[in-house]
Structure 1
Amino acid sequence: MRLDALTVEILRNYLQGAVEEMAYVVERTAYTTFVKETADFTCGLLNPNGEFFAYPIELGVASFGGISYAATLEAVGPLEPGDVVITNDPYSSAAAATHLPDIHLIRPIFWDGRLVAYGAGFLHSSDVGGMVPASISPRASEIFQEGLRLPPKKLFVRGAVNRDLLDVILANCRIPEQNWGDLQALVAGLTTGERRMHELIRRFGPDTVDKAMDDLIDYAARKVEALIRRMPAGRYEFVDYIEDDVATNIPIRLKVAMTIGDGEIHLDFTGSDVQVGSALNVPTAGRVHPFMSIALVNYFATRDRTIPLNAGVLRRVRMTLPEGSVVNPKFPAACGVRYATVLRIYDAVLGALARAVPAHIPAASGGQGCMVALSLPDPEAGRRHVTVIEPMIGGGGGRPGRDGVDGCDASLGFLKTTPAETLEAEVPIVVRRYHLVPNSAGPGRFRGGFGVRLDFQVFRPEGIVTARGMERLRFAPWGVSGGSAAATGSVVLNPDTADERPLSKIDVLSLEPGDVLSVRTPGGGGHGDRFQRPPARVLDDVVAGLISREHARDAYGVVLRGDRVDAEATAALRRSGTGAAADAPFDFGPVRREHERRWPAALQDAFIELLMGLPAPYRAYVRRKLYARVDALAAQRPVTADELVGLWHNLRGSMGLK
């Protein structure tokens, strides 16, 4: 360390307070519901290399602390006091921005004419243009369909707004006043950071503050390295899936091999699917990216709560992200729904951790970050009103020693519920129901958290709903250590009426006046043998209305007589069988088991290796055609990797490929 420990700790606490204040300013001054209520934003302080050395943990998105803005800053060139850089483009920012609605701003901080730091952050705009209201459609096949792309440019020049650029931005969105209000809120947050940095430099001097930036990042890296050295060395693999690629029902495979050794962790995503022709791709620019390691960072933070959240957390992490894959797509791949894939990457890394350090790892959470957005005509303004209604999150996975958290996914814990009163005041809707989904939690010694149900009714014509990131409607959140998989989610139009209609995943849905849309999220997987759950805890859930009496009997082996447990009948029922999942340590549920029966690991590896060897423009087409041929055969009998290659040789001529 360049400074003594006491000075570093004083500066760390001051800087943490500064970035929390920056975030608070944004939250209190933003215009759109999704920023001021749901808190899909962040802001912090960067060193001159474009790395976060101070990052908020109490407000906003927790997963961007490892982002590097170096490429963004290099692209825009030298900066002066009062400049503010703007970008939302994943490809020209080297994946600092990861989809177009996330608008990033960077403000340089000078002292005596010398650049000493930056304030930086992003906020999620509820609309940046594009093919649908709220901008994000899972069916987008290239980024040009997803809205206005902003390569790194100066939004403010020496303190004055670049009006020409701002006019272009506001002319290409459906909610210009709200977007400009949000951008000004973020600028105010960055200005707060500049003021606090100046106060710190006046008190401690610029040299001390310079050294503190490096010391804080190094401190986080050393703490993480110490944790890694306590983990068992080895290679741990896990696979999870996005249920379909939108264009077809073919699951998107996400494979990770986690190698632990010599104080480092290497995450190798070789064997993950090729980039897809929908908006589920995750831009990473092929470099160490925090989206690939959220589960790791959460593990580090849980095991040692003194680790500061900054760039040092990922200093001991390396990654292999094959170019042209879904985790490192080539331009101009669409990426608007990238967080649906990020959530499944979280589960894959979590599964690898469960193999390495099972005593500390929960079951899978609901794994859905569905953002339900609504567009309605606004007669007074003469255009459509667009807002994000609610982030629909599933239940948390059961944990070693504790049940999962209801309606809260560990990878999305930063998102907050929008109060029904706020929604009804801002949008002409009525929230009819908002509660936990009974029987949705994965059974276990420590059950998962329950999913959430939201029913809302519209009253104006021409209502349009988009719902990006809707997942776990087929492949259940998995249980671990003998725990069982959770219930999947569902969507229903006009529930409990003569017009009730089950729906599949929503891309764009038109609603008539009076329609009620009901979205139910998955629960979290269970942890441990469900027959070892104390009967009194099962009774508590029945009394609370969270599980039915039938579910208590069938899932937990608990027999109830009136308002009490029949201890004798319960003991007899539990002796008659086992509560541990059949394929422990993981229970993936019947749909995934059937998929992997048809497509065992070796066959999937060969399939993806074949696709990765093709020119990128042909991969999605060949994937669709070859998968259909192999899957039809696999429904009848096992298919080998050699047979797959033979089928490909027979098909390629008919496809016009050499």
Structure 2
Amino acid sequence: MSPLELEQYWTNLRSLVSERAKVMQRSAFAAVVREAGDLAYAVFDAEGNMVAQAETGTPGHVNCLEACGKFLIEKFAGNIAEGDVLITNDPWLGAGHYFDITILAPVFRNGKIIAYLGSTNHHADIGGLGMSSMAIDVHQEGLSIPPMKLVEAGEPNAVLYDIIRSNVRVPDVVVGDLAAQISSALSGGVAINEMCDRHGLDDIEELSSEIIQRSEDAMRAAIRGCPAGTWASRCEFELTADTSIHLDLRLTIDNERGEVNLDFTGSSDQLNIGVNVVENYARAYATFAVRSCLAAELPNNTGSLRPIKFSAPAGSIINCTYPAPVASRHVVGMYVPMPILDALFNAVPDRVLANGPGCPSTAVVSGLDDAGKHYNIFFTVAGGMGARRLKPGMDATNYPTGVRSTPVEMLEREAPIVFIKKELRRGSGGTGRQHGGDGQVVEFRVRSDKEWLLSAQCTALHNPPNGMDGGDPGELSRFLINGKTAVPQFQQRMSRTDTVRIETAGGAGFGAVEQQYDVKKQS
């Protein structure tokens, strides 16, 4: 394949994948997908290798989709017909909790499968206790959908649709979002066939092989360009005043193999509350952290992910075993990059950033409006991003997830919620040679006379984001109900007179104030 052909085909493939993802996002019913982009969309080759991802999406969803897509393709090998659509939300196969539903559809050409298109989207509701950490068993957290066919030879699985509708609080929203996923996958298949027609291709096998091998080779070369060695680091944080968690890491850069090994032996054991992380999700954010530091310009696919090896003991909080509760897995999972960044500072100090608050603060507000209609909305409140060596951290930016904040106007349209305040929390970022980004303040209430439920999650309430190379930590988060400090991790019953205030942590600073860095040495 000539360089010109490769560039032409690759550009076409990336464009159509991103285009279909945008269509899916704009067709979605739930604001968390439509406005915040809490999703993933990717194309796989016939062997189950993720070739290209869409430009939008979160690392947790995208890299979990890479694993889940391959599993589904292998499981249903020889049992897939044209018009089939596969589905699952198994936390240990997919993105770590029941809310994330994966859809995968084959692409046929001249009677044979040449590719698959898939997505993993966060859904508005999945039944059970909702997105809280109250469950002590995964079965309390909602509807489980094992790997199966949602559509078979073009015919929807009516029984499965009835089961889904009967188990969720907002069935029209959930089924509408499934329709967006299905239609984007099927229309994406049409687009791939049109691409093959334009270029006279029988399939995408040669293109896939070339892209994946080049991506792997380039990733290994980037790793070999770093100093070899092994470094240990530890990240400690508290979910509540009496629940402490630590993530222990030994990071090894192996120049001979061109690999990075991430060993989380020694990390905290899984808990009996719903903050446990499945291996897929922990690996997703671990590989993201390494790739974004060492080779951010490379395509994110099976090839570029292959040289990054992840391990954590079974039964640990970042490799939990069934039936551990996992609904709020993001609260712990988004801390996984923090010890990686700390360790990589020893090898590539100019490419890392100081710590932020990990997971953004989140809130799920649900209940019945005054007309008796059920509402259920989910939104994030970003903290500040940690500073970089030569640049300050960004304000109110969700690192490492990248999910956007939902406009308050959209949330107020979809539920009887009123936002009293949304503003930057000035001065909350840590000081240093480069200061950390500021967090924000969000205050809201519900205008319905009926009782409503709040499930909130806030990080950095007890442990501030750590500074890098002498930088100062960011300010702690605060969670208040009616002006008084409250515990956010559990579902709470609320009334019309209650006001909720979330103040997110600022990102940490990088370098001592008096420290100077040589700009010429920066990559």
**TM-score, normalization by structure 2:** 0.94
SS of structure 2 residue aligned to 1:385: strand
Which AA in structure 1 matches 2:385? G
2:290 pairs with 1:296 = yes
> 1:653 — aligned with what?
none
Q: Which runs of 5+ in 1 are unaligned?
A: 495-499, 534-658
Residues 308-341 of structure 1 show CA distances to partners (whole Å, capped at 9, x for unaligned) of 1211121111122211211221111111111121
Letter of the 1:254 partner, please give it.
L
* Aligned equivalents of 1:65, 1:102: Cα separation in 2: 11
- Which position in structure 1 is the counterpart of 2:110? 112
Q: Could you tell me how far apart the structure 2 residues matched to 1:295 and 1:333 are?
A: 26
Contact 1:368 1:522 in 2 (8 A): no
SS in 1 for 2:394: coil
Distance 1:166 1:465, change over 3 A: same
Q: Are 1:174 and 1:384, in contact at CA under 8 Å, matched by a contact in 2? A: yes
Residue 453 of structure 2 corresponds to 464
Q: Match of 1:255, SS?
A: strand
Structure 1: distance between partners of 2:453 and 2:15: 41
User: 1:392 is aligned with what amino acid?
Assistant: V
The DSSP-based 3-state class of the residue aligned with 1:196 is helix
* Residue 378 of structure 1 pairs with residue 369 of structure 2: yes
- SS of the residue corresponding to residue 37 of structure 2 reads coil
Using the alignment, how far apart are the partners of 2:30 and 2:61 within structure 1?
Answer: 21
SS across alignment from 2:429: coil
CA–CA distance in structure 1, aligned partners of residues 498 and 203 of structure 2:
61
C-alpha RMSD over aligned residues: 1.9
The answer for the alignment partner of 1:637 in structure 2 is: none
Is this contact kept in 1: 2:282–2:319, CA < 8 A? no
- Identify the residue that residue 451 of structure 1 maps to in structure 2: 439
**Is 1:310 matched with 2:298?**
no
- Amino acid of the structure 2 residue aligned with 1:428: P
- Partner residue, 2:521: none
Higher Rg: 1
Tell me the equivalent position of 1:509.
492
CA distance in 2: counterparts of 1:466 and 1:49, whole angstroms: 41
Select 2:464's aligned residue among 463, 467, 476.
Answer: 476
Asked if 1 retains the 8 angstrom alpha-carbon contact of 2:40 and 2:62, the reply is: no
Task: State the distance in 2 between where 1:445 and 1:142 align.
Answer: 46
More relative contact order, 1 or 2 (CA 8 Å, 6+ apart): 2
- Secondary structure of 1:319's match? strand
- Map residues 395-410 of structure 1 onto 2, 5 A cutoff: 395-410=384-399
Deviation at 1:379, TM superposition (A): 4.5
Distance 1:278 1:288, change over 3 A: closer
Letter in 2 for 1:386: N
State the partner residue of 1:342: 333
5 Å matches for 1:177-216? 177-207=172-202, 209-216=204-211
Distance in 2 (alpha carbons) for counterparts of 1:441 and 1:174 = 39
DSSP-derived class of the 2:362 partner: strand
**2:48 aligned counterpart, secondary structure:** coil
1:442-489 per-residue CA deviation (whole Å, 9 max, x = no partner) reads 111100000011111222230211113x21101110101110111110
Gap change, CA 1:102 and 1:36, over 3 Å in 2: same
Q: CA deviation at 1:48?
A: 1.7
Q: 1:238 to 1:32 in 2, by over 3 A?
A: same
Encode CA deviations 1:348-390: one digit per residue, 9 max, x unaligned: 111111122112211112213222110121343x4531111x2
Deviations 1:215-243 (A, max 9, x none): 11111111111110111100011111241
Q: Tell me, yes or no, if the aligned pair for 1:292 and 1:342 is still in contact at 8 Å.
A: no
Q: Contact conserved, 2:382 with 2:405, CA < 8 A, in 1?
A: no
Once residues 347 and 136 of structure 1 are traced to their aligned partners in structure 2, the CA distance between those partners, rounded to angstroms, is 24
Q: 2:201 and 2:323 mapped to 1: Cα distance? A: 43
Looking at structure 2, the residues matched to 332 and 148 of structure 1 have their Cα atoms a distance apart, in angstroms, of: 14
Preserved CA contact (<8 Å) 2:455 2:488: no
Q: Give me the whole-angstrom Cα distance separating, in 2, the residues matched to 1:21 and 1:123.
A: 16
Unaligned runs of 5+ in 2: 517-523
In 1, the alpha carbon distance for the partners of 2:231 and 2:202 equals 44
Moved more, 362-371 or 204-213: 204-213
Tell which deviates more after alignment, 175-184 or 76-85: 76-85
Range moving further from structure 2, 250-259 or 145-154 = 250-259
Question: Which of 26, 37, 59 lines up with 1:28 in the alignment?
Answer: 26
Once the two structures are superposed, residues 609-631 of structure 1 have per-residue CA deviations (whole angstroms, 9 ceiling, x without a partner) of xxxxxxxxxxxxxxxxxxxxxxx
Structure 2: distance between partners of 1:352 and 1:532: 21
**TM-superposed deviation, 1:266:** 0.6
- Verify the 8 A CA contact 2:42 2:52 in the aligned structure 1: yes
Give the partner amino acid of 1:84: V
TM-score (norm 1): 0.75
Deviation for aligned residue 1:257: 0.7
Once residues 427 and 532 of structure 1 are traced to their aligned partners in structure 2, the CA distance between those partners, rounded to angstroms, is 49
In structure 2, what residue type is equivalent to 1:524? Answer: G
**2:409 matched residue in structure 1:** 421
User: Matched residue of 2:389: which SS?
Assistant: coil
% of aligned pairs identical? 30
Tell me, yes or no, if the aligned pair for 1:429 and 1:456 is still in contact at 8 Å: yes
Q: How far apart, in 1, do the equivalents of 2:14 and 2:151 lie?
A: 27
Equivalent residue in structure 2 for 1:142, among 137, 145, 148: 137
Whether 1:72 and 2:60 are equivalent positions in the alignment is no
Q: Which residue of 1 aligns with 2:311?
A: 320
For each residue in 1:537-584, what CA deviation from the matched residue of structure 2 results, as whole angstroms up to 9, or x when unmatched? xxxxxxxxxxxxxxxxxxxxxxxxxxxxxxxxxxxxxxxxxxxxxxxx
State the alpha-carbon separation in 2 of the partners of residues 200 and 23 from structure 1: 17
Which one of the candidate residues 247, 251, 255 is aligned to 1:258?
Answer: 251
SS at match of 2:366: strand
CA contact (8 A) 1:279 1:338 kept: yes
Amino acid of the residue matched to residue 79 of structure 1?
I
1:65, CA displacement in angstroms?
4.1
* Superposition pairs of residues 34-53 of structure 1, within 5 angstroms: 34-53=32-51
Summarize the Cα distance change of 1:250–1:410 in structure 2 as closer, same or farther, 3 Å threshold: closer
SS state of the match for residue 412, structure 1? coil
1:4 to 2, 15, 18: 2
User: Is residue 16 of structure 1 aligned with residue 14 of structure 2?
Assistant: yes
Contact 1:65 1:310 in 2 (8 A): no
CA positional deviation for 1:250:
3.2
- 2:506 — aligned with what? 523
Residue 58 of structure 2: which of 49, 52, 61 is its match? 61
Residues 45 and 87 of structure 1, relative CA distance in 2, 3 Å threshold: same
For the Cα contact (< 8 Å) 1:85–1:154, is it kept in 2? Answer: yes
